[in-house]
Amino acid sequence: MNARTLPDTSPSETDHGAETAEWRDAFLSLVAADGPARARQILDELASLARAQRIGWQPNLNSPYVNTIAVQDQPNYPGDLAMEERLGSLIRWNALVMVVRANQAYGELGGHVASYASAADLFETGFNHFFHARSQDHDGDLVFFQPHSAPGVYARAYLEGRLAEADLLHYRQEVTALAQGAHGLSSYPHPWLMPDFWQFPTGSMGIGPISSIYHARFMRYLSHRQLKECAARKVWGVFGDGEMDEPESMSALTLAARENLDNLVWVVNCNLQRLDGPVRGNGRIIDELERLFAGAGWNVIKLVWGSDWDGLFARDTTGALVRALSQTVDGQMQTFAAKDGRYNRDNFFGQNEELRRLAMGLTDEQIDRLKRGGHDLVKIHAAYAAAAAHKGQPTVILAHTKKGYGMGTAGQGKMTTHSQKKLDETDLLEFRNRFKLPLSDEQATGLAFFKPAEDSAEMVYLREHRARLGGAMPRRETACAVVAVPPLPSYGAFALQADEKSMSTTMAFVRMLGNLLKDKELGPRIVPIVADEARTFGMANLFKQVGIYSSVGQRYAPEDIGSVLSYREAMDGQILEEGISEAGAIASWTAAATSYSVHGLAMLPMYIYYSMFGFQRVGDAIWAAADQRARGFLLGATSGRTTLAGEGLQHQDGSSHLVAATIPNCKAWDPAFAGELAVIMDAGMREMLVAQRDVFYYITLMNENYAQPSLPEGAAEGVLRGAYRLSEPANGGESRVTLMGSGAILTEVIKAAQLLQDDGIAADVISVTSWSELARDGVAQTTPYLTTLLADGCGPVIAATDYVRAVPEIVRAWIPQQRGFHTLGTDGFGRSDTRSVLRAFFQVDAAHIAQLARQALEAHAAQP
Ligand SMILES: Cc1ncc(C[n+]2csc(CCOP(=O)(O)OP(=O)(O)O)c2C)c(N)n1
């Protein structure tokens, strides 16, 4: 930053003015003589003096509205600029053609051009010079792409030969593509839909940014625990300025700084627009983000103006240009982007004589083409290089761009440009001319894809540059070694043969976890995750056993140092204690759950939390993890609406199983007994670590202590199919019902069977371990398992859970119709009271279950 461009703060009084001038001159000569480091030292000294004098001074977190990196500090550009411009233009063109043609074919399909038009140079500089793919000598960077800029990534993959023209023609047509032997190209990055291509699902705004932070932190965790050295790898994320408004985007900024994540670089594409209009029409988003990130402790690099502004700034001896730029709000800046050179001359440079003079040497065309920083390869490269080299802090590059860049009157800077996907013939020809594309009029207006000959200099350059960086990107890989799972009895015998010992399923889980952590092979791969609830779930013993991960170890003597359960933080600690941030904890879980793919090293995260604060609180993040093909366990503890006595409305979960059932690769379980839980955990670990299937398990756990029976002989298979017959009536009696229950309410169901038996009614009891697995089986099989299971009994079927009635309702279709199906659940708001009062209130206690059974029998008998 040129000192001449500092705002003039001289007071009006002449002697003060002279004094200020002296200070300024002294400072400038210090910088000139001793360099910036010494200048910083003096400023620090003055700042500490100022604070000691309590003069109430705080430094302004904003720097002038110019590039952070001075011209003289820019490294030489390590590439062929003209060549990269040509390649970039081709990629822009093919991306545009893909979207416009998809829209021509089917107007309903949608797609975006304007976002990529603004991000193209940011992506391309990364692709040509920075983003490492996984290869023999590098384990690969992690790159998060702005989701609605996906067309540009496809267009590059087309030039690289990874996608064919037929694939580009099936952008957003995944189903149609299949029938025609092409690959459908997903709207946004979807690892599930394009499993060899996309790594990170960023389509829901805000999920990508926070995820990138926790991935960067997880790489440190792997290194510190000596599981995998990740020091040479970076996490790059290109995100939108509008996207920064998502609470999740910003919520972990301080964690990234606190953890000194200098392996993390964010590029915020500040095109000043979001979907509806300007991000900050009346302010400046770059200033706001600068303050936010600097305040959070990030290294901030502003990439505001392109090289052709350098001369203007150099000639701006009075600081008029910087002042004018600093006074222009984004809404106005957007208008300048949408208008031509003439308009900009009149309305921006026409503001005063000094500016007018600055623009005098420029033609209107040149004014029109003055580049913003995020469109200038040299400036972008300088920013990326500085970010990559920066030590001790994460870096954010605030890249100033134009939305719809180069789309001329059709779209650049237009209020509606976000959803623009039609260009008329004039627009297309203008675009061709603007980017000097080697296309005839017919090719341009005919929206022909363009690919240079394989042996052309362009293609050679493209291939060579990616080869130097380890090959094509993005690329999702899945190869990883199998992790052996110990035999179930070695860690879960106590649960299988519980022998009526009293315990809660949470206690059983924690005990099994403790045992598993001791296993030589599997133990180190387990990542226990908590969001400030370890003590709540009785896990404090693990603090000592495996330690809490801390990148700096433990710099204090813990208050409870003498105790066996003492609070222990360590650099190789295993527990991720995320504090009260479910969004952070689930992002951590996702990083660990996808480590098999991102790092080629299978890890097994077990995140245990209040079940209410999972699918409801961070459901979208769980959905993204599912898309990213996560493998791991989510443990919804203190689950159900009536088991968590005394906690009331916000804590009592009656719906998580309903949401879990909607996620295709989530297997959701509501076991009642420790033995069931043990069988489910064993199967899950084998499914994920040995068979390597892309599933994750959601298991609800309770904190209610009760007598745990041993798992009945032969019950394991039924447990894993979703239900098994727990007991048959001793006496077959004339009146017979089947009672089904899961989780917390199974004990009520068992009591209800007893009440009914006392009345001479025979009741079969079925323990349901998973309503959603029963339902899935029902859909998939011609003879559903549940139907077969119920064939042995007769009379009405009553189902009760600690969840809303809609949960058991999902199996209705597979209950033999003549038997009748009646459900009980905990619909409504939760509230505080004792368990028994709550169960009576919600009508899921033994008395209500028995009563419903009697009524159902009566109605059944009355049927003709
Ligand atoms: C959670 C969420 N809300 C809304 C959207 C819809 N949406 C997609 S892109 C977009 C605007 C993005 O603006 P910005 O982040 O500034 O990126 P730009 O396209 O301007 O580069 C919106 C609102 C979304 N994808 N995710």
Residue-wise pLDDT for 262-276, tens only, equals 999 999 999 999 999
Q: What is the pLDDT of residue 5?
A: 45
Please state, rounded to an integer, the average pLDDT across all residues of the chain: 95
CA of 275 to the centre of ligand 1 (A): 6
**In the 3-class helix/strand/coil scheme, how is 319-336 assigned residue by residue?**
CHHHHHHHCCCHHHHHHH
What is the largest distance, in Å, between two alpha-carbon atoms of the chain?
109
CA of 373 to the centre of ligand 1 (A): 22
Judge whether residue 158 has pLDDT over 60.
yes
Distances (CA, A) of 150 to 117, 453, 588: 11, 24, 25
Ligand 1 atom with the smallest distance to the CA of 188 is 25
CA distance 446 to 442: 6
pTM of the model: 0.96
- Among 106-115, 332-341, 821-830, which is the least confidently predicted range? 106-115
274 lines ligand 1 (CB under 6 A): yes
Q: What is the pLDDT of residue 14?
A: 63
271 lines ligand 1 (CB under 6 A): yes
Judge whether residue 6 has pLDDT over 80.
no
pLDDT digits (tens, 9 = 90+) for 428-444: 999 999 999 999 999 99
| Test site for ligand 1: of 99, 112, 115, 415, most ligand atoms within 8 A of the Cβ | 115
CA of 273 to the centre of ligand 1 (A): 10
810 lines ligand 1 (CB under 6 A): no
Judge whether residue 12 has pLDDT over 70.
no
Q: Confirm if 382 and 239 have CB atoms less than 8 A apart.
A: no
The residues, any chain, with a CB within 8 Å of residue 133's CB and separated by 6 or more, are 140, 141, 466, 469, 470, 471, 472, 473, 475
* pLDDT bracket for residue 420 (50, 70, 90): confident
- Percentage of the chain beyond pLDDT 90 is 90
pLDDT digits (tens, 9 = 90+) for 160-204: 999 999 999 999 999 999 898 888 999 999 999 999 999 999 999
pLDDT digits (tens, 9 = 90+) for 205-214: 999 999 999 9
* pLDDT bracket for residue 408 (50, 70, 90): confident
Stretch 521-525: mean pLDDT: 98
CA of 145 to the centre of ligand 1 (A): 13
152 lines ligand 1 (CB under 6 A): no
CA of 205 to the centre of ligand 1 (A): 6
In this structure, the strands spanning 548-549 and 696-700 are unpaired
Q: What is the pLDDT of residue 4?
A: 43
Residue 159: CB atoms within 10 A of its CB come to 20
Q: What is the pLDDT of residue 864?
A: 65
CA distance 130 to 236: 9
273 lines ligand 1 (CB under 6 A): yes
pLDDT digits (tens, 9 = 90+) for 678-707: 999 999 999 999 999 999 999 999 999 999
In 3-state terms, what secondary structure has residue 624?
helix
pLDDT digits (tens, 9 = 90+) for 367-406: 999 999 999 999 999 999 999 999 999 999 999 999 999 8
Judge whether residue 559 has pLDDT over 90.
yes
Q: What is the pLDDT of residue 564?
A: 86
Ligand 1 atom with the smallest distance to the CA of 119 is 21
CA distance 356 to 788: 86
201 lines ligand 1 (CB under 6 A): no
Judge whether residue 761 has pLDDT over 80.
yes
pLDDT digits (tens, 9 = 90+) for 251-303: 999 999 999 999 999 999 999 999 999 999 999 999 999 999 999 999 999 99
Ligand 1 atom with the smallest distance to the CA of 244 is 15
- Among 98-107, 596-605, 826-835, which is the least confidently predicted range? 98-107
851 lines ligand 1 (CB under 6 A): no
Judge whether residue 565 has pLDDT over 90.
no
- Among 19-33, 101-115, 171-185, which is the least confidently predicted range? 101-115
CA of 201 to the centre of ligand 1 (A): 14
- Closest residue (by CA) to atom 20 of ligand 1? 274
* Structure token pair of residue 192: 């599930």
CA of 31 to the centre of ligand 1 (A): 43
